[in-house]
Structures are given as structure tokens and as C-alpha cells.
């Protein structure tokens, strides 16, 4: 069951990311895919940070490490999202590559 879930999530997330970057896909579908993928990752990171907050009740060090890891993932994800989807200045849709 674990293997099936991993396969399905990999297929959906990687397929969605590739389709959201493809210029031949209609803009509405690309925007919906980007929104769904961003919400999925945001939910996972939020759950991780929440688990860190709950873990702080038992051990401050363990909870702090989990919270810091969640914040690191949040910043890293924002940087990757910006690099993948936010257009650079001077780059147009019609330029090759």
C-alpha cells in the first residue's frame, strides 16, 4: 500500500509540475495546478510546524528542531517556487528556450 501511495503521489505531483510549466497547457489549468501543488506543500509544512509546536510541550529541543526544519522547508520552497514560476525581467514568452 505504501508503494502504491508513493507512486500515485509522485505521478500526480511531478506530472502536475511539468504540466504547469508547459506553455501549451491553457493558463487556467496551469494556475489551478500551481495552486493545488502549492497548497499541498503548504499543508505538509504547516503540519510539520504544528507537530513541532506540540512536541515543544514534551521537549523544548526536539520541538525547536522540528519547527526550525519546517521553517527551513518553507523558505526553501518559496525560493524554489520563485525560481520556477516567477518570470525574470527581460524574459518573454516568445524567446527560445
Which residue is it, cell 497548497? 39
Q: Is the pLDDT of residue 34 over 90?
A: no
pLDDT (tens digit, 9 = 90+) per residue, 37-49? 889 889 999 999 9
Of 30, 53, 42, nearest to 76 by C-alpha is 42
pTM beyond 0.85: the answer is no
Task: Give the domain ranges of the chain.
Answer: 2-85
pLDDT at 92: 52
Intra-chain end-to-end CA distance of the chain, in Å: 40
Alpha-carbon separation of residue 85 from 23, 30, 34, 37 (angstroms): 12, 11, 9, 12
Say which DSSP state 97 is in.
Answer: -
Q: Is the pLDDT of residue 65 over 80?
A: yes
pLDDT at 68: 95
SS3 19: helix
Provide the CA 69 distance to its chain's centre, in angstroms: 15
Alpha-carbon separation of residue 59 from 50, 56, 68 (angstroms): 14, 5, 14
Around Cβ 78, how many Cβ atoms within 10 Å? 11
pLDDT at 4: 87
- Give the confidence band of 91 by pLDDT, cuts at 50, 70, 90: low
pLDDT at 67: 94
Amino acid at each position: 500500500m505504501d508503494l502504491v501511495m508513493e507512486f500515485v503521489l509522485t505521478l500526480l505531483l511531478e506530472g502536475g509540475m511539468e504540466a504547469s510549466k508547459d506553455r501549451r497547457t491553457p493558463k487556467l489549468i496551469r494556475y489551478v495546478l500551481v495552486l493545488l501543488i502549492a497548497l499541498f506543500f503548504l499543508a505538509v509544512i504547516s503540519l510539520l510546524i504544528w507537530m513541532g509546536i506540540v512536541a515543544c510541550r514534551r521537549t523544548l529541543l526536539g520541538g525547536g528542531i522540528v519547527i526550525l526544519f519546517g521553517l527551513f522547508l518553507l523558505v526553501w520552497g518559496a525560493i524554489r517556487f520563485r525560481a520556477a514560476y516567477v518570470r525574470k525581467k527581460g524574459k518573454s514568452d516568445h524567446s527560445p528556450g
